[in-house]
Structure 1
Amino acid sequence: MNGSANASRPGGTRRAFLRTAIGTSAGTSLGLAAAVGGASPARAAEHGHRRRIPRGGIGMHLYTMRDVLAEDFAGTLERLAKIGYATVGVSGRHGYGAGDIRGMLDATGLRAVLEHVAYTTLTGSGLAGALDDLHTLGARWPVVPSLPGALHTPDGFREAARQFNRIGLASREAGLGPVLFHNHGTDHVVVDGVNLYDVLLAETDPALVAFELDVYWAVKGGADPATYFRRHRHRFPALHVKDMAPDGGFADVGSGTLDFAAMFAHARVGGVRQWLVEHDTPADPFATARNSYAYLAALRY
């Protein structure tokens, strides 16, 4: 596996990176209108929306289930499969190896599509091992879950973009997909006139780097997911589908204020293939899993 920038890149020898910042309009009335409103599946159907999320695209990000996974990893996966989930995003292994988790997934019919791996692991000597583990899991995408706080400056995000291009090239050469970045609200701030998240969109190669957009944190940070989908086509293969309670906290998907029907109307152009449910602090993880799956399975947009 060669992470050199001079190595050949799948899909051609194109070297020109996208350099023009698009200038996503954070916090505009358009963004808020597309992001909030609490539309129900029934309301979407009444307005003539007939598109639905493919059942194979509804997954669970396992961070949601961390407490019950720690008690019974295999049993938790079995219950998720019975609810109807098709895929999972791996986030924390609870002492199991990649091969162990793959065996438990295979036993339930679930499929891992990505794994969250620390930035320091992927930028250091752990990169090759992390990519090997993705193959073992049967997953496609390595995901950087967050960036170190010290990098939250325009120059820091430019350095992260350079690292992402290198990691993405190694991932592609290993036969996997591009590296993805998972956002939080602080990634959407403007520092010295520069929107940090837009630095990553502008200075990474779309063939090597894409994004797992957490729609809750995007909205919390003043951004509009639908605008991202339209302006940066095919760069968002996976989503964290997380709802926002009226007080700004977390909610089961479909019970909060985010208008997912309006948001997902633009998901196809954004390249979305996986809708991964997440709730950071569920009171009852299995209730959250059931409620969120039922909503997404019924949603029309």
Structure 2
Amino acid sequence: MKRLTYSGTVAMAALLLNVLSEGLVSAQSSKSIFPQAPGMQTYTYRRGMKTNVEASLDSIKALGITDLECGVFPGKTAAESRKMLDDRGMHCSSFGGGYEALQDPEKLREIGRNAKIMGADYIMLAWILKKPPFTIDDAKAAVTNFNRIGKQLKDEFGLTFCYHNHGYEFQPYENGTLFDYIVKNTDPKYVSFELDLLWAAFPGQKPEELLNKYGNRFKLMHLKDLRKGVPGDLSGGTSVENDVALGTGAINMPAVLKAAKKAGIKHYYIEDESSSFATQVPQSLAYLKSVKE
């Protein structure tokens, strides 16, 4: 009886050790906050794209990145641009459009047609400020325009319209900001958002708090970090050299990535506007692979 008890105890201990070991491995593997490959905003490669689109795409592909936010490539048609992507196993998921063009129904249709040819699911708008400061009248006009633009894009092309914050929208207004006003007064059926981390942090916001506040209204994200110690403002502008490698700047990137996952962000794009992007982008990729909960 004692021998059986001892044997049973040993067997139980071995089983428990095995379960704990498997649990530890599982816990360790689940600690990666960002296990997927990010996409790329091709504005990062804007200089090279103007002179050699093929080489720029090859450079991005060499990093293991195949998901792009882009427009029709310089000197190419939408069909030619799509073929260049297809030849490389790459995909345009988000397509950029300008504010004035999107307000014109016919030009909007051209943008929509090109986006569909490119294979995109989203239309991104990144700038609406005509002259500073951004005012409540600007915000009200944006709400009206965004709802109409988003409805036309959804009804005619099945595309989702996303507005990309650029910092100036965080002017204080009532108990929040003008950005809050825009989010609350646009129709979620037709208007979504792309969160640019740098352009939330620069005017003094915490991107993770915006993600927690508005959840799945954010569909897309620009992965960017802001140099530490840079004084912010509401201008929507700062030196491109204040873009730094992810994880080295002022933004609490682990908190942002956790909140983004919870919010259900569909596409993440690295955007590095600095002259050091060739060295910083690989650093950012390495950081995303290494960051743990």
Q: Give the TM-score normalised by structure 1.
A: 0.78
In the TM superposition, residue 176 of structure 1 has moved relative to its aligned partner by 2.9
After superposition, what is the alpha-carbon deviation per residue over 1:19-61, rounded to whole angstroms, capped at 9, x for unaligned?
xxxxxxxxxxxxxxxxxxxxxxxxxxx99971433535x1111
Secondary structure of 1:84's counterpart equals coil
Tell me which residue corresponds to 1:206: 188
CA distance in 2, matches of 1:126, 1:178: 17
In the TM superposition, residue 254 of structure 1 has moved relative to its aligned partner by 2.5
In the TM superposition, residue 241 of structure 1 has moved relative to its aligned partner by 0.7
Q: Which has the higher Rg, Structure 1 or Structure 2?
A: 2
Contact kept? 1:55, 1:86, Cα under 8 Å = no
Q: Please list, as runs of the form range in 1=range in 2, the aligned pairs for 1:1-301 lying within 5 A after superposition.
A: 50-56=31-37, 58-91=38-71, 93-124=73-104, 125-150=106-131, 152-190=134-172, 195-248=177-230, 249-283=242-276, 285-301=277-293
Secondary structure of 1:180's counterpart equals strand
Contact kept? 1:243, 1:257, Cα under 8 Å = yes
CA distance in 2, matches of 1:266, 1:192: 26
- Tell me the amino acid that sits aligned with residue 52 of structure 1: I
Tell me which residue corresponds to 1:16: none
CA, structure 1 residues 54+162, in 2 after alignment: closer, same or farther (shift >3 Å)? farther
- Tell me the amino acid that sits aligned with residue 227 of structure 1: E
In the TM superposition, residue 169 of structure 1 has moved relative to its aligned partner by 1.0
- Tell me the amino acid that sits aligned with residue 295 of structure 1: Y
- Tell me the amino acid that sits aligned with residue 118 of structure 2: L
Q: Give the TM-score normalised by structure 2.
A: 0.80
Contact kept? 1:252, 1:292, Cα under 8 Å = yes
CA distance in 1, matches of 2:248, 2:262: 26
Contact kept? 1:87, 1:111, Cα under 8 Å = yes
CA distance in 1, matches of 2:150, 2:292: 34
Moved more, 173-182 or 127-136: 173-182
CA distance in 2, matches of 1:240, 1:128: 26
CA distance in 1, matches of 2:256, 2:267: 14
Tell me which residue corresponds to 2:4: none
CA distance in 2, matches of 1:177, 1:205: 15
Secondary structure of 2:284's counterpart equals helix
CA, structure 1 residues 298+108, in 2 after alignment: closer, same or farther (shift >3 Å)? farther
In the TM superposition, residue 252 of structure 1 has moved relative to its aligned partner by 1.8
- Tell me the amino acid that sits aligned with residue 71 of structure 1: T
CA distance in 2, matches of 1:261, 1:267: 10
- Which residues of structure 2 form unaligned runs of 5+? 1-26, 231-241
Contact kept? 1:206, 1:235, Cα under 8 Å = yes
In the TM superposition, residue 177 of structure 1 has moved relative to its aligned partner by 3.3
After superposition, what is the alpha-carbon deviation per residue over 1:164-222, rounded to whole angstroms, capped at 9, x for unaligned?
11111111113433210111121212257761111111110111111111011101111
Contact kept? 1:63, 1:92, Cα under 8 Å = no
- Tell me the amino acid that sits aligned with residue 128 of structure 2: L
- Tell me the amino acid that sits aligned with residue 293 of structure 1: L
- Tell me the amino acid that sits aligned with residue 159 of structure 1: A
CA distance in 1, matches of 2:251, 2:35: 20
Contact kept? 1:50, 1:300, Cα under 8 Å = yes
CA distance in 2, matches of 1:51, 1:154: 41
Identity rate, percent:
24
Secondary structure of 1:253's counterpart equals coil
CA, structure 1 residues 202+192, in 2 after alignment: closer, same or farther (shift >3 Å)? closer
Q: CA RMSD in A?
A: 2.2
- Which residues of structure 1 form unaligned runs of 5+? 1-45
After superposition, what is the alpha-carbon deviation per residue over 1:94-115, rounded to whole angstroms, capped at 9, x for unaligned?
2222212211111111111112
CA distance in 1, matches of 2:151, 2:253: 33
Q: Which one has the bigger helix percentage?
A: 2
